[in-house]
Amino acid sequence: MTDLGPVTNPASAQHRLDVELGERAYPIVIGRGLLTDPEQYRPFVIGRRVMIVSNETVAPLYLEAVRQGLADFETAEVILPDGEQHKDLATLNRIFDALLEQHFGRDTTLVALGGGVVGDMAGFAAACYQRGVPFIQVPTTLLAQVDSSVGGKTGVNHPAGKNMIGAFHQPRAVIADTDTLATLPGRELSAGLAEVIKYGLIADRPFFDWLEEQAESLRALEPAALATAIARSCRNKAQVVAADEREAGQRALLNLGHTFGHAIEAGAGYGEWLHGEAVGVGLVMAARLSRRLGWLDEEAVSRVRRLVSRCGLPLVPPADLAPERWLELMAVDKKVQDGQLRLVLLRGIGEAVLTSDVDADLLRASIQSAPADAL
Amino acid sequence: MTDLGPVTNPASAQHRLDVELGERAYPIVIGRGLLTDPEQYRPFVIGRRVMIVSNETVAPLYLEAVRQGLADFETAEVILPDGEQHKDLATLNRIFDALLEQHFGRDTTLVALGGGVVGDMAGFAAACYQRGVPFIQVPTTLLAQVDSSVGGKTGVNHPAGKNMIGAFHQPRAVIADTDTLATLPGRELSAGLAEVIKYGLIADRPFFDWLEEQAESLRALEPAALATAIARSCRNKAQVVAADEREAGQRALLNLGHTFGHAIEAGAGYGEWLHGEAVGVGLVMAARLSRRLGWLDEEAVSRVRRLVSRCGLPLVPPADLAPERWLELMAVDKKVQDGQLRLVLLRGIGEAVLTSDVDADLLRASIQSAPADAL
């Protein structure tokens, strides 16, 4: 078996990573039974009042556990509707309403309890409330645990594009309790695995190899495998982010599969496709386009396609998305620089590159043949 | 006459200050005829596309001049309704709409052309658009020239409180053209002078003395006096901000008059009182409360009151604002720390202090007698 190194605490399969960002450095703790543990929160809460931001799906399952962990503090909560379609300025404003109605001052800590949408909105609310208060991420989906918790990206969607309005705001800590994945729908678990695969593809071939061995253990929620996959993904992302906090260069590699993915999500209407599902298709499309450029061999494309499929992810993009609409949706994406589309593609498994070299006709051809290629 | 030192360029009465904030340092240029001068903009525009944000009052007067100054770039504009009552998330969203409809990418520069409301909203839009793009402040009111342009505070109001939603985002440059003050209503000129007086009161007694000599020249828009007053105010504010960018300590002194002022603005309904008018009354109330504490003599209170009045500002707070409502409005203000009201008061002219020592009964008595005190 591919050895991915020891865990921090073998007895509990608990991992701890420190994201190095100077005075904004923070820890990520990954393991079981963390939600109710006061020690996970105490060092990171500023002030005595905590506003827990959650949603209608997650709050009934885990709000009590988090309240228990925060028993030393005065807590209140704001429960948002669930779903990406609510990740907008109007829903964000409900967090501000709750904070102001209850006279929360500047010495308030927000706790984001939920998936990526809750994390992005609570984080953005923390970035903007009185021009910035601290927050703690308590991600309860695999996607949020591997991805949204690292990098400090927060924000909301605009009808014209995802995450177009937001801020960089680092959490004070990330508490990733793998027990919460027990209640995660299988479709969402798979969506999270798409981001995990992405980290192997970008810059960590041994991790990709390991994932090929562990795909079934991960889908079966084997705790040690989950904790290892999350920790390794976070470490990969944290390394990129620490080197490039503001996304000038290397950080763009994290968008592997995402330019295609965002177009799928937007084209199908937010909420139809899960983000990770769209990314999974995007990874395969990026591999196929890399193949068309002669950068990847057919065997590597097959490995990507197989692993995405074994993780329970769809391979076929929406059939009703016309190529011109695809290109239009990709053009509004943040990866546009002065009208020039930049894409992240693969020169090998574990070797992603940012390129502006893609000919528009080649891209169009690749999009046109994507549904057939996927079969 | 009190000598406040030479201007940078005596021929044009042009002043230049550099706000020292490490890699976020930026210049403030103050003088005549700047709007149409390409050299004022060119070094600070990133990318080739510029979105000018202005409002319905200012755009007809100065948009063409700014377009002329930006002739090297591709410009577009978004014209907002005028007034503090539009400083909200919905109006902010119109800036995002305009940027996205016209496919503005991340390499966009925003130019804020207008008063403090335009500057705060354009700055906040720049802070949040795609998680941060550069912006340039072109303030056209005295208040914005002396105050909003320094400090990097951006944001919008919430029905429950002013500036409750925002970000710290520094402009790349501030271009303060004193010629724009020719079209400023007298009431707004006076409102700007309230902030100018504030800087003398906080930490610059020679400036306060100079203002007592120059009040009439300033109201008559004498260019050299205006440029000196603006530059000196900016320098005072820049010194505080450079020492304390995130408002942990000394920066709170800039709130002199503002806790009272915010209560007046909110209590009267946003838009009824100009911010500076409310601050002017707040300065007098802060002086009176300082007198009640025995910190200030009656002569100093009279000097504050006289200068505020000579600058054309009201002295009497709204009569229909009940003391309990005052206290409620003051409590929601950002100056609340764990339920403890902190106020900025005066130990002398040019010597402001932050204190938590104010007894609630004394504060209530001071508010109750404010209308009578002002006569």
Provide the CB-side half-sphere exposure for A6 (13 A, CA): 4
- The alpha helices in chain B, defined as continuous H runs, are 38-41, 59-69, 89-101, 116-128, 142-143, 186-203, 205-219, 223-243, 258-268, 275-292, 298-310, 323-331, 360-368, 370-373
What are B135-185's pLDDT values in tens digits? 999 999 999 999 877 889 999 999 988 899 999 999 999 999 999 999 999
Q: Is A15 annotated as a binding residue?
A: no
What are A63-114's pLDDT values in tens digits? 999 999 999 999 999 999 998 889 999 999 999 999 999 999 999 999 999 9
The string of DSSP codes covering B193-207 is: HHHHHHHHHHH-HHH
B5 membership: H or E segment, kind and range: none
Phi, psi angles (nearest 5°) of residue B14: -95, 130
Catalytic residue among B77, B212, B222, B247: B247
Nearest chain A residue (CA) to B92? A89
Question: Lowest-pLDDT range, B158-162, B273-277, B369-373?
Answer: B369-373
Cα–Cα dist B9/A30, whole Å: 61
Residue with tokens 């440029």: B227
The interaxial angle of helices B116-128 and B89-101, nearest 10 deg, is 60
Binding residues of B: 82-87, 116-120, 140-141, 153, 162, 180-183, 195, 258, 275
- Nearest Cα neighbor of B244 from B17, B28, B19, B16 is B19
Question: Lowest-pLDDT range, A13-27, A49-63, B94-108, B186-200?
Answer: A13-27
Residue B82 token pair: 């005028």
Query: What Å distances lie between residue A321 and A357, A364, B203, CA to CA?
Result: 24, 12, 64
As beta bridge partners, residue B168 has B153
Measure CA A25 to chain center. Answer: 19
A107/B338 Cβ within 8 A: yes
Collapsing DSSP states into helix, strand and coil, what is residue B76?
Answer: strand
A331/B168 Cβ within 8 A: no
A331/B103 Cβ within 8 A: yes
Residue A19 token pair: 């994201």
Q: ipTM value of the model?
A: 0.83
Q: What is the pLDDT of residue B5?
A: 62
Cα–Cα dist A232/A235, whole Å: 5
Give the pLDDT band (50/70/90) at residue A192.
very high
What are A11-53's pLDDT values in tens digits? 567 899 998 888 888 999 999 999 999 999 999 999 999 999 9
Cα–Cα dist B343/B364, whole Å: 13
Domains annotated for chain A, with CATH where assigned, are 15-183 (3.40.50.1970), 187-373 (1.20.1090.10)
Measure CA B5 to chain center. Answer: 23
Q: What is the pLDDT of residue B291?
A: 95
Q: What is the pLDDT of residue B370?
A: 81
For chain B, the farthest-separated pair of C-alpha atoms sits apart, in whole angstroms, at 60
Instruction: Look at residue A259 and tell me whether its pLDDT is greater than 70.
Output: yes
Determine the average pLDDT of the residues in B362-373: 83
What are B328-362's pLDDT values in tens digits? 888 655 555 556 678 999 999 999 999 987 888 88
Chain A interface includes B356 (CB < 8 A): no
- The alpha helices in chain A, defined as continuous H runs, are 38-41, 59-69, 89-101, 116-128, 142-143, 186-203, 205-219, 223-243, 258-268, 275-292, 298-310, 323-332, 360-373
Determine the average pLDDT of the residues in A127-144: 97
